[in-house]
Amino acid sequence: MSVSIRGTVTDVNGNPLCNVKVLALHEPTGSLFAKITDQAGFYQFENIKPGGPYALKATGEGLPTVEEKGLKLRTKEIYEHNFSLV
């Protein structure tokens, strides 16, 4: 059983940001997953362990780091999380 996390990373004007690193940390086990956004600012983690909590972080060169903690994911859920890097 697994879940997915996906979303987009944009700038303050809503423009997609490519080559931004998005990290997903499964806090109880310390398992860390990493993705790089594509040209449309899209990222997706597939087939990750349900439950949590998870911490999501987006960071890019010359950009602020944005983090969201405490995400709990249910089995077969697709969780959408978008980042806006100001």
CA-closest candidate to residue 43, choices 9, 1, 69: 9
Residue with tokens 């809503």: 14
Does this model's pTM top 0.85? My answer is yes
Please state, in angstroms and rounded to a whole number, the distance separating the CA atoms of residues 22 and 60.
9
Q: Which of the four pLDDT bands, split at 50, 70 and 90, describes residue 41?
A: very high
Cα separation, 75 vs 1, whole angstroms: 6
70 token code pair: 């405490």
Average pLDDT, rounded, for the chain: 92
* Higher pLDDT pick, 15 / 75: 15
Rounded CA gap, 51 and 35, in Å? 20
